[in-house]
Amino acid sequence: MNDALPAISPALRAALDDWLRGMAALQDAADHTITAYRADVAGFLGFLARHHGGAAGMAQLRAVTQSDLRAWMAAARTRGVGPRSLARALSALKSFARWLAEREPGFDPDIFLAARAPRHARPLPRPLAETDARAMLQTVSGEHPEDWIRARDAAVLTLLYGCGLRISEALALTGRDRELGTSLRIRGKGGKERIVPVIPAAAAAVADYARRCPFPLAPAAPLFRGARGGPLNPRLVTKAMEAARLRLGLPATATPHALRHSFATHLLAAGGDLRAIQELLGHASLSTTQIYTGVDQARLMQAYRAAHPRATGNGAGTGS
């Protein structure tokens, strides 16, 4: 893997490898995250080498200026790198700089930490309407000729919508979860654990599936199974939902993850507390959860434009 980084000095390559190993071991970062971080930081170091000539080393890193960082971002944008990808790359670079500052005497990370990523509009989640979410669960439960597979698909989707789980979290459940109580301990992204309440409909759907499943559900084995008894592939859940959305005439945005969005959006619309919803979803930052307030506001404005006399042009309105 180091052979792919010819423009980086051996000492800096070793530092990059050590940082990534630490990310994997201490922060429980996923493999694809480590791969992305390596590419992001190596991409900057490669640019630095081309920008100044010669292999990039600690001396070049210590001498980085805001002008260098702006030139790197401009070059990335010229290659078609989007603002979200560039923001992620800058975040990785800042993390690496912080790590180096703790280990390299005299290395000052402030130039990196002060750099600002280009602004980008974060797309709003696309939740289903409450009636569409209920229709989706009912339709999926009748899509497959095998009754236990119909029950399985309905159980998985009910957990996504009723408990706000990610599909990976639902498929990580084991046989010991076949009889759900009133709450469920979930291990989410980064190994973070949270407790989510289980609504009766979710407990009933899982119990119905477990009763019909033709395979033994040992406590340590996966709860949700494929047709041959192996762990359920998330793609099969997506396909079941695709068939149901086509039958219902719903848009392509009606995906399994949209059910998790629907869980959060519908809770917020019903007066749910944003901090509580953050905990239920397992978001590390409240800012991630706050995006659902944008969905709620967008729906409010849509209803306003559809019904308000001045918005529709149907009347002149009245004074206050």
Is 260 one of the catalytic residues?
yes
Is 257 one of the catalytic residues?
yes
Terminal-residue alpha carbon distance, the chain: 69
Share of the chain above pLDDT 70, in %: 81
Check 13, 150, 152, 166 and give the catalytic one: 166
- Cα gap 217→199, rounded to integer Å: 22
Is 189 one of the catalytic residues?
yes
- pTM listed for this prediction: 0.56
Kindly indicate whether the domain formed by 130-304 is annotated with CATH number 1.20.1740.10.
no
pLDDT digits (tens, 9 = 90+) for 126-184: 788 889 999 999 898 777 888 999 999 999 999 999 888 889 999 999 999 998 888 88
- Show me where the domains of the chain are located: 2-113, 130-304
Tokens of 174: 């084991």
Check 189, 212, 299, 308 and give the catalytic one: 189
Phi then psi for residue 109, to 5 deg, are: -85, 0
Phi then psi for residue 200, to 5 deg, are: -55, -35
Phi-psi label, residue 106: left if phi above 0, alpha if psi -120 to 50, beta otherwise: left
Is 292 one of the catalytic residues?
yes
Check 88, 212, 257, 308 and give the catalytic one: 257
- Cα gap 204→137, rounded to integer Å: 13
Architecture of domain 2-113: Orthogonal Bundle (1.10)
- Cα gap 116→123, rounded to integer Å: 20
Residues 211, 213, 215, CA angle at the centre, nearest 5°? 125
- Cα gap 158→170, rounded to integer Å: 10
Residue with tokens 């969005």: 261
Residue 270: is its pLDDT beyond 80? no
Bridge partners, 56 (sequence order):
8
Is 161 one of the catalytic residues?
no
Residue with tokens 């905990």: 279
pLDDT digits (tens, 9 = 90+) for 37-62: 889 998 898 888 887 777 778 888 88
Check 150, 152, 245, 260 and give the catalytic one: 260
> 247 with 132: CB under 8 angstroms?
no
